[in-house]
Chain A
Amino acid sequence: GENVEQHPSTLSVQEGDSAVIKCTYSDSASNYFPWYKQELGKRPQLIIDIRSNVGEKKDQRIAVTLNKTAKHFSLHITETQPEDSAVYFCAGGSYIPTFGRGTSLIVHP
């Protein structure tokens, strides 16, 4: 089955800085890579996703890049704000996505 590795486990940045979270996957057949944001005590919510026929996707301050050859994908958050503080999960797969271990992002005002 799919194996998704996520780094770093914790990321601390100053407000206004950029944040990058990286994930790798093992199954070359995986074709769907969503990113979820989970605030403390809340449910995971999809923030952006990318499919294997696309190399990059942007939505305002967030972007995701995918390198199929290297089997890695990344989440980029620019101009971080304190409300971006949360746990972010990457996921990957071709049927039911496998989740990474999560990155706790802390944005200091």
Chain B
Amino acid sequence: SAVISQKPSRDICQRGTSLTIQCQVDSQVTMMFWYRQQPGQSLTLIATANQGSEATYESGFVIDKFPISRPNLTFSTLTVSNMSPEDSSIYLCSVEDPSGTDEQYFGPGTRLTVT
């Protein structure tokens, strides 16, 4: 298994500003994932972050809006840039099981409200 922490747990931001969310894992993992979960909705994959390479973004998500860093095997950040109220959501990081199974573990999420 993996223990994942995220900072901040929640934030209220003004439109036009940016917020960087941090994700820390207690084990080294190759792949880290960033998801968005809008209120009452499912989980939508934003991008996959691999250490030493650029993140891979899913359709509908772009690097200019959601820049991602992955400086090492236990840490990643997601920035939500130039925010609008439509960005209000829960952002979750996730990792693959460090022991190599297909299982995914999720962080506690960051609840973002944009006013």
A residues contacting B by CB (< 8 A) are: 32, 34, 42-46, 49, 51, 89, 96-102
Contacts and interface: CB of A to CB of B under 8 A. Distances in A.
21 contacts: A32-B102, A34-B102, A34-B104, A43-B106, A43-B107, A43-B108, A43-B109, A44-B43, A45-B106, A46-B104, A49-B102, A49-B103, A96-B33, A96-B45, A97-B104, A98-B45, A99-B43, A100-B42, A101-B42, A102-B41, A102-B42
Interface in B8-28: none
Contacts of A100: 42
A89 B92 contact: no
Interface of B: 33, 41-45, 48, 92, 102-109
Nearest to A9: B40
A90 B40 CA distance: 15
A99 B33 CA distance: 14
A93 to B, nearest CB: 9
